[in-house]
Every structure is written in C-alpha cells, then in structure tokens.
Chains A and B, each alone.
Chain A
Amino acid sequence: AQKVTQAQTEISVVEKEDVTLDCVYETRDTTYYLFWYKQPPSGELVFLIRRNSFDEQNEISGRYSWNFQKSTSSFNFTITASQVVDSAVYFCALSEAQMDSSYKLIFGSGTRLLVRP
C-alpha cells in the first residue's frame, strides 16, 4: 500500500533561518500526485502545492520551494528566511489509485514547525 513518511515530528528554528521539511513516499502507481498542506494553529488546512509524477521540476514560490526527486521518492519542502507566521503543522500527501480509476489521498503524520522570534 502507499505510504507517506514525515520523519521529522517537530522542528524548532529561529526566525530568518532556512528550514527543510522532509517527505518520503512509497507507491506502486506509475502516475501519482504529491501535495503539501499547511495547518496553522487556527486549525484549517491550507493547500500549498501539487506535483505530478511526470514533472520533476523544482518549484519556487516566494520563500517556499519544493524539491521533487523520483529517484529517492522524496518531495521536500524548504522555507527560506523563516518567519513566525510560518509556525504550523505541515502535511505531505500522496494520491493512491484505485481499481476503478478513482483515487484517494494518503497523508503523512505531519511535521510541526515552530519559528521563534
């Protein structure tokens, strides 16, 4: 079965430090999608990025960047010059194809990031 591993349970950094959140996945699908979500202390789940298995280009969005490497089954997320507002739990998720061509999303256990002033 598909699996998403976020080995870092909690990370604490000082503001302006760079931080990388790791995501390693296992899948038997040849086509799949990976996602990152942010859950701030208020509790809602905010979509950050989607990547499909055909597109290994890294992506940068402001202070956020993502590194997708199929060879190592990893989809890591880096925050540059972290800010206190980045404090949240971050989830990595993987699509799992079903026999009827539908899919479901499997989430990792999350990484809690604390950015201290």
Chain B
Amino acid sequence: NAGVTQTPKFRILKIGQSMTLQCTQDMNHNYMYWYRQDPGMGLKLIYYSVGAGITDKGEVPNGYNVSRSTTEDFPLRLELAAPSQTSVYFCASSYQTGMGHIQPLHFGNGTRLTVT
C-alpha cells in the first residue's frame, strides 16, 4: 500500500496563477481532508469529504476548491494564487468503523507551495 500520495512535492507559483494539488489514497477510506500548515503554525482545515460526491468547507476554504469524483482522489484547486497561500499543504484520509469509531488520519508527505 502506498497510503496517501501527494503531488507535487514542491511548487512555486506567481501571483494570479492557478494550480491543482493532487492527492490519492489506496486504502479505500471514505474520509479525505486538506489541511494547510503555515510556517511555525498548526494545521488548519481547508476542505474535507466524507465520500465521493460529497465535500464540505473547513476553517479556511476561501481561495480553494475541491472535488471528489472517486473514493481514491481528492484534488485541491487554487485559483488566482496569492502570497497568503504560501504554505505546506497536507492531504489525509481516514474512515469510521461500522460502530462509529473514528480512526486516525493517515497523512501524505505534504506539498510545499510558495506564491511570489
């Protein structure tokens, strides 16, 4: 199992450009998440999904879009990149058992994005 795979690892964008951060998982998890981690800070939830076709906003969704057309993939789209979006982006996946027990998040290795 590869777990959670994020691409690219690094990217530099100019202000106003757009890009898609890719995230795929091979564990058949229904939950997927996007977090951002600003330098020296904690993790802020951008968007999450509880299954294919279902997405919801987190704490800091402005400037981002997501889609979840399959269980495996959860891409994060940045439109009109701004310097404030310079951050490390982490994708994660998880699941909830039939009894409702929440399982730990499995994280990808992150995408370091710089907007200049």
**Which A60-117 residues have C-beta < 8 A from chain B?**
91, 93, 95, 98, 100-110
Interface residue? A8 (CB, 8 A): no
> How many interface residues does B have (CB within 8 Å)?
28
Measured in the bound complex, the distance between the Cα atoms of B39 and A43 in whole Å is: 11
Measured in the bound complex, the distance between the Cα atoms of B56 and A33 in whole Å is: 20
Structural contact, B102 and A106, CB atoms closer than 8 A: no
Interface residues of A toward B: which range? 20 to 34
Interface centre among A31, A105, A110 (most CB of B within 10 A): A105
Interface residues of B (CB under 8 A from A): 31, 33, 35, 41-45, 48, 50, 56, 58-59, 88, 90, 92, 94, 96, 100-107, 109-110
Interface residues of A (CB under 8 A from B): 6, 31, 33, 35, 43-45, 47, 50, 52, 91, 93, 95, 98, 100-110
